[in-house]
């Protein structure tokens, strides 16, 4: 059924529409007719997607300035997104998180996999942080925020406008308060027995990375009585989880002094300050320095930022992952464990695993030591993967025994 009075985004002749009909949520610019009328549509325009025969396929959000020119929002003939439309999707997302987690600290909306393309919402108790990373969500931020308040009852809603994705959509980087007020102090978040301090206004992304929760738990299980090194620690991710798991010590390495300060505050809140130390500096340089000091750890975890955020950066990113593994492996004591993580969607699991294994082999060359891959981890269930969108399954964590 067609929706009257909506602009039309039409697929090019010979473009196979089955991919969209089977559930893929994106229309790429090279698949659509981009005539003068289409190019004149303001970013975020809601339109009807049609095939070359003018048969309606879906309701889409259009951004002529983006490589993803169309994002599927609903079936063809659906009404325009309003507060009620947002509330229905948010309620469905909330129902799953409330079943999964006892406390309201989680990713509430994970973009396409929760039916809100390009939208990230993280919840921190009475505060939600929205990242509207697509033009349509920016244009409809008011009904989205109103629906979020209606469904969750939170007192505060912040908009975080940082991140590479907004730049790709032609959006600004101006964050704001949409409801209530921004917390004046970092918000304490309990996960896996650890306490994390989340800076919701000045920290990275929304303030905390919930996606690593199950991998933190696995690492904590390896850490009883262990000396732990957490590289690219941010606000203490793996290091604080290890302390909660009974580590005798944890050293956090990060380039950000504010992040390390938050990590130290988290350790203090856990009553583990005396077991926690930090090293600020470039992670590669710090790994080399630790090797020069003859340092050894029972568990070493490296959780870097996305070294391969795009296909163009893939080869350089894989070399960086290999280098991290090469530098980290010699720091692992005999019989210890090495965890290597990647949040690069361009580097799939197979490529990341190959780079990691190569790096470990180079790092242990000539020592007579061997490695065994004991566990592969992914993001937690509050970060669901869209079955037609491999990019939504971005996080990988490999744990080796050396």
Q: Is pLDDT at 19 greater than 80 in this prediction? A: yes
Residue 4: pLDDT band with limits 50, 70, 90: low
pLDDT tens for 31-46 read 999 999 999 999 999 9
Find the CATH number of the domain harbouring 263: 3.40.50.150
Residues 286 and 349 in one domain: yes
Catalytic site residue from 128, 302, 341, 343: 343
Residues 154 and 124 in one domain: yes
Residues 115 and 239 in one domain: no
Query: What are the backbone angles phi and psi of residue 89, rounded to the nearest 5°?
Result: -70, -40
Asked if residue 3 belongs to a domain, the reply is: no
Asked if residue 283 belongs to a domain, the reply is: yes
Q: Given CA atoms 95, 97, 101, 104 in this order, what sign does their dihedral have?
A: negative
Q: Tell me the C-alpha distance between 23 and 40, whole Å.
A: 27
Boundary of a domain, candidates 151, 179, 207: 179
E strand segments, 175-302: 176-179, 187-191, 194-198, 227-231, 249-254, 276-280, 297-302
Q: Is pLDDT at 1 greater than 70 in this prediction? A: no
- Range of 8-17, 133-142, 197-206 with top mean pLDDT: 133-142
Q: Is pLDDT at 302 greater than 70 in this prediction? A: yes
Boundary of a domain, candidates 75, 107, 123: 75
Within 153-208, where are the H helices?
Answer: 164-168
Residues 355 and 272 in one domain: yes
Q: Is pLDDT at 391 greater than 90 in this prediction? A: no
Find the CATH number of the domain harbouring 28: 2.30.130.10
Decide: 371 and 401 in contact? Cβ < 8 Å. yes
* pLDDT in the model for residue 215: 98
* pLDDT in the model for residue 3: 57
Residues 112 and 42 in one domain: no
Find the CATH number of the domain harbouring 98: 3.30.750.80
CA 283 to chain centre: 20
* CA trace torsion 311, 317, 319, 320 (10° rounding): 180
* Proportion of the chain above pLDDT 70, given as a percent: 99
Asked if residue 2 belongs to a domain, the reply is: no
Q: Which domain holds residue 65?
A: 8-75
Asked if residue 270 belongs to a domain, the reply is: yes
- Picking from 287, 286, 302, the residue whose alpha carbon sits closest to that of residue 400 is 302
Asked if residue 57 belongs to a domain, the reply is: yes
Residues 221 and 302 in one domain: yes
pLDDT tens for 292-301 read 999 999 999 9
Decide: 374 and 99 in contact? Cβ < 8 Å. no
Q: How many folded domains does the chain comprise?
A: 3
Boundary of a domain, candidates 161, 179, 197: 179
Active site residue 343: yes
Residues 27 and 60 in one domain: yes
Residue 165: pLDDT band with limits 50, 70, 90: confident
Residues 108 and 194 in one domain: no
What average pLDDT does this structure show over 376-387?
96
Residues 214 and 282 in one domain: yes
Q: Is pLDDT at 74 greater than 70 in this prediction? A: yes
Measured between its terminal Cα atoms, the distance across the chain in Å is 60
- Picking from 61, 15, 10, 26, the residue whose alpha carbon sits closest to that of residue 388 is 26
Decide: 131 and 147 in contact? Cβ < 8 Å. no
Residues 275 and 372 in one domain: yes
Computed over its alpha carbons, how large is the radius of gyration of the chain?
Answer: 23
Decide: 6 and 46 in contact? Cβ < 8 Å. yes
Q: Tell me the C-alpha distance between 17 and 50, whole Å.
A: 9
Residues 212 and 247 in one domain: yes
Asked if residue 51 belongs to a domain, the reply is: yes
Residues 263 and 392 in one domain: yes
Asked if residue 1 belongs to a domain, the reply is: no
Q: Tell me the C-alpha distance between 55 and 328, whole Å.
A: 56
Pairing between β-strand 127-132 and β-strand 119-124 as defined by DSSP bridges: antiparallel
Asked if residue 175 belongs to a domain, the reply is: yes
What average pLDDT does this structure show over 346-355?
96
Query: Burial code of 273-305, b = ≥16 C-beta within 10 A, e = fewer?
Result: eebbebbeeebeebbeebeeeebbbbbbbbbbe
Q: Is pLDDT at 362 greater than 80 in this prediction? A: yes
* pLDDT in the model for residue 94: 98
pLDDT tens for 304-328 read 999 998 889 999 999 999 999 999 9
Average pLDDT, the chain: 95
pLDDT tens for 45-56 read 999 999 999 999
């Amino acid at each position: 059924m067609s929706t009257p009075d909506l602009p039309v985004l039409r697929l090019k002749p010979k473009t196979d529409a089955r991919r969209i009909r089977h559930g893929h949520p994106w229309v790429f610019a090279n698949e659509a007719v981009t005539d003068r009328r289409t190019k004149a549509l303001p970013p975020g325009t809601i339109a009807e997607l049609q095939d070359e025969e003018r048969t309606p396929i879906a309701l889409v959000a259009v951004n002529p300035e983006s490589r993803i020119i169309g994002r599927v929002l609903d079936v063809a003939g659906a009404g325009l997104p309003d507060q009620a439309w947002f509330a229905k999707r948010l309620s469905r997302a909330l129902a799953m998180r409330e079943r999964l987690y006892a406390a309201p600290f989680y990713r509430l909306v994970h973009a396409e996999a929760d039916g809100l393309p390009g939208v990230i919402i993280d919840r921190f108790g009475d505060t939600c942080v929205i990242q509207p990373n697509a033009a349509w969500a920016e244009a409809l931020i008011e009904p989205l925020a109103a629906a979020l308040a209606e469904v969750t009852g939170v007192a505060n809603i912040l908009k975080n406008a940082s991140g590479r994705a907004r730049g790709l959509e032609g959006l600004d980087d101006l964050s704001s308060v949409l409801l209530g007020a921004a917390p004046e102090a970092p918000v304490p978040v309990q996960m896996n027995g650890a306490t994390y301090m989340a800076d919701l206004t000045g920290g990275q992304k929304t303030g905390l990375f919930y996606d690593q929760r199950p991998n933190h738990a696995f690492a904590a299980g390896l850490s009883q009585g262990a000396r732990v090194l957490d590289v690219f620690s941010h606000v203490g991710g793996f290091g604080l989880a290890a302390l909660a798991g009974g580590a005798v010590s944890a050293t956090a390495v990060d380039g950000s002094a504010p992040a390390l300060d938050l990590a130290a505050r988290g350790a203090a809140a856990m009553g583990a300050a005396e077991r926690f130390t930090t090293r600020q500096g470039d992670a590669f340089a710090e790994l080399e320095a630790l090797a020069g000091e003859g340092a050894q750890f029972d568990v070493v975890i490296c959780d870097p930022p996305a070294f391969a955020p795009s296909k163009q950066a893939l080869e350089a990113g894989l070399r960086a992952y290999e280098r991290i593994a090469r530098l980290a492996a010699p720091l692992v004591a005999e019989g210890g464990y090495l965890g290597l993580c990647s949040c690069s969607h361009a580097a799939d699991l197979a490529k990341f695993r190959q780079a990691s294994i190569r790096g470990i082999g180079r790092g242990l060359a000539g020592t007579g030591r061997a490695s065994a891959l004991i566990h592969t981890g992914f993001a937690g269930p509050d970060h669901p993967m869209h079955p037609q969108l491999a990019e939504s399954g971005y996080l990988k964590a490999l744990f080796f025994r050396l």
